[in-house]
Amino acid sequence: MKKILIIDDEKSVRESLKLVLSDTYNVVLASSGKDGLEILSSGDIDIVFLDILLPDRDGISVLQDIKKNDTDIPVIMLTAVSKVSTAVECMKMGAYDYLTKPFDVEEIRIIVKKVFDELKIKQKVKFLSEELEKSTDNIVCESQKMKEVLALALRAAPHDTSVLISGPTGSGKELVARFIHKRSPRGNEPFVAIHCAAIPETLFESEIFGYEKGAFTGAFKSKPGKLEVAGAGTVFFDEIGEMPLSLQIKLLRVLQEKEFSRVGSNESMKLEARILAATSRDLKNEMETGKFREDLFYRLSVIPINIPPLKDRREDILPVAYYFLALFGKQMGTRAKVFSPEAEKILFSYDWPGNIRELKNMVERILVLKGNRDIIDVIDLPEDLKLKKDELFDAHIPFEEKVRKFEKRLILETLERFYWNKSKAAEYLRMSRRMLSYKVEKYGIEKKQNSDY
């Protein structure tokens, strides 16, 4: 449980603050600056409430001693209205904020909640920075399934054995291929990716094998193909299932004979590169329908590696989201460093049909549009994440019911965003406070009992 220290010589102040906070936090009391500093030196305190006027010494000097020993600990100054200017001066010396007596109970809870939210942000940013330093090839994972994928890739890396990486679109197949390349003896040689689905069939052969001048109309000069450019590196055929059958036969021959020729040339070149391939299609099914050659499949899939979709390894969703949040945040110079707990829940529960690519694009879009905020909240997320599709498209649910559920969720999320300050929530929603109170009662919206408000 979080621990809060209250340093004030007035017993009524100490007890009233304890009464407000003790249901959620561990509250420790001190009646003098000396006692307070002793408690700080002997225990882990998360927040300090410090009175400016103390019997043994003034609060400003106590604040200075606190900050000498721990610059990060939040200190909230307690002051009479006539001493506000002094409290502001304390903030310049490192105090987090100040409260004037008599206290407003809701204000106390809000400021404590705000402090702990910011502490969480700092912890997550620190963790993310460490993970970024440790992560290699931009593969961030926590799930056992993905760790097994990387372990298999690591075992395959030192050898020239062909690897076929399968998995849904956007799941990170090229990242795994680069992971294998970097850990192979060819790691310092080129990694050349060929996106089979993006190359027109008429240009496929010339892109892969290259061509000589005059080989066809428009070939005004000779050009090396991808296999030649790769040299002793790695050639990665992404979406190999999209390769035309005529090219499949030629690629199989190259893999068997380790030689190839440019279009329009009779001169053979030695294949030095290692071949990796990936597919989002079921190639065994493609073989049965005659769309993919069986002999090429077995030549490519000596070591098969399957990457599960993101929805089947949900432990990776938040680490990957935070990776992209830090990556794009650094590139764009945005303020946003963390998702709110409610936003995290939505990210975690969403199925991500577009996998890593969809998550990456979503984070980048949010930072472009909402990156000036410290915390990415539920309201900042795209609507298709917030609405459950089974509810949205269920014909059995009446339109009015869908609207009611959406309005209830919007009001709840807004109240949580403003720590249940109804005036601010009403202003944000552009409705009167009276109307907001009516809708809260109408929908039976209640504050969570275990929340830190």
The domain spanning residue 90 has which CATH number? 3.40.50.2300
Q: For the chain, which residues score pLDDT lower than 70?
A: 81-84, 87, 123-138, 386-397, 417, 448-453
Domain boundary among 308, 342, 360: 308
Give the chain's domain count: 3
Radius of gyration (Cα) for the chain, nearest Å?
31
Range of the domain at 352: 314-443
Domain boundary among 308, 341, 366: 308
**pLDDT of 124:** 55
Q: State whether 318 and 304 are in the same domain.
A: no
**pLDDT of 347:** 92
Phi, psi of 285 (to 5 degrees): -70, -35
**pLDDT of 101:** 82
CA 323 to chain centre: 5
Q: State whether 175 and 288 are in the same domain.
A: yes
- Residue 430: CATH number of its domain: 1.10.8.60
Q: State whether 167 and 280 are in the same domain.
A: yes
Q: State whether 298 and 155 are in the same domain.
A: yes
Q: Is residue 450 assigned to a domain? A: no
Q: Is residue 452 assigned to a domain? A: no
**pLDDT of 452:** 35
**pLDDT of 306:** 97
**pLDDT of 135:** 44
Question: Quick check: 98 and 87 in contact, CB under 8 A?
Answer: yes
Question: pTM of this prediction?
Answer: 0.60
Question: Quick check: 48 and 73 in contact, CB under 8 A?
Answer: yes
**pLDDT of 59:** 87
Domain boundary among 82, 108, 131: 131
**pLDDT of 131:** 44
